[in-house]
Amino acid sequence: MKMTLDADCSNCPYCRNIPGVGAFPLKSAATEFDQLLNIGPGVVIAPTVGMFIPGYLLLITTRHVVSFSQLDEEQLSNVERFVGLSTRQLSGLFDEYLVFEHGAVSCGRSLHGACVSHAHLHLIPAARRVERALSSVVSWEPITGLADVIRLRESGYLMYGTQGRYYVSRYVPTSGQWIRRRVFEWLALETHWDWAAYSGRQELMMTLDRLRPLCDAKGDPVFLY
């Protein structure tokens, strides 16, 4: 992997705040939103500021790369297996998961810097409520697996998946966090899509509470992997 990919690591909120992520990983989480819920192959699962429904988590690469398309085929198939295991297990506690990525280009264009240029998949338990709307709002192409995003490394992309099926779109949104905003609208929530306006602390507490059955005696999450 090229050195330049790690270039702006020092300003990255994931690299700075989440244990095990980035070139100089922390031992403990910077805030309650940065705590590790699970560790997978080159990725971690953590809550996220702006989690507007319970169970809304992020799956983040431990290396600072701009999008999942920067990983290689083997890494991506391991990640895919881990996403499948994780979301299946979490679905039992929340609801069917929708996973999506604002691939490289769209994220980097965010005017407010609100979307982080460090590869992350949004995991939102809302597939049954929003997949129909999402699948028809722009044109999507089915892909055979996550590794298929490698060919979109240069162009940028949107990607979503549910129940092991993945789709990409070359649609270039005019604003950052595009899918996240649409999902928020379709869910017709009364809070706010922007994490700066709504942190989702209550949703975080509900999430941790519901994850408790998957924790060991010390209270550490041991679900999956």
Binding residues vs Zn ion (CB under 5 A): 12, 14-15, 64, 102, 115, 118
Query: Of the two residues 22 and 54, which places its CB atom closer to Zn ion in the complex?
Result: 22
**Cβ(175)–Cβ(159) under 8 Å?**
no
Tell me how far, at minimum, the Cβ of 225 lies from Zn ion, in Å: 22
Tell me how far, at minimum, the Cβ of 57 lies from Zn ion, in Å: 12
Query: Of the two residues 15 and 147, which places its CB atom closer to Zn ion in the complex?
Result: 15
Report the residue closest to Zn ion, judged by CB.
12
Distance from C-alpha of 165 to C-alpha of 144, rounded to nearest angstrom: 8
Tell me how far, at minimum, the Cβ of 194 lies from Zn ion, in Å: 12
Tell me how far, at minimum, the Cβ of 79 lies from Zn ion, in Å: 16
Beta bridge partners of 43: 40, 61
Tell me how far, at minimum, the Cβ of 182 lies from Zn ion, in Å: 12
Query: Of the two residues 30 and 222, which places its CB atom closer to Zn ion in the complex?
Result: 30
The Cα-based distances of 16 to 23, 29, 115 in angstroms read 9, 9, 15
Which residues lie below 8 Å from residue 128, measured CB to CB, with a gap of 6+?
Answer: 95, 96
Whose tokens are 């992520």? That residue is 21
**Cβ(61)–Cβ(43) under 8 Å?**
yes
Query: Of the two residues 54 and 103, which places its CB atom closer to Zn ion in the complex?
Result: 103
Query: Of the two residues 170 and 210, which places its CB atom closer to Zn ion in the complex?
Result: 170
Tell me how far, at minimum, the Cβ of 68 lies from Zn ion, in Å: 11
Angle of helix 127-137 versus helix 178-186 axis, rounded to 10: 120
Query: Of the two residues 7 and 222, which places its CB atom closer to Zn ion in the complex?
Result: 7
Q: Could you tell me how many residues make up the chain?
A: 225
Following DSSP, what letter does each residue of 78-144 receive, concatenated? Answer: HHHHHHHHHHHHHHTTS---EEEEE-HHHHHT-TTS-S-SS-EEEEES-HHHHHHHHHHHS--EEES
- CA-wise closest residue to 53 among 125, 101, 129: 125
Tell me how far, at minimum, the Cβ of 92 lies from Zn ion, in Å: 25
Query: Of the two residues 110 and 214, which places its CB atom closer to Zn ion in the complex?
Result: 110
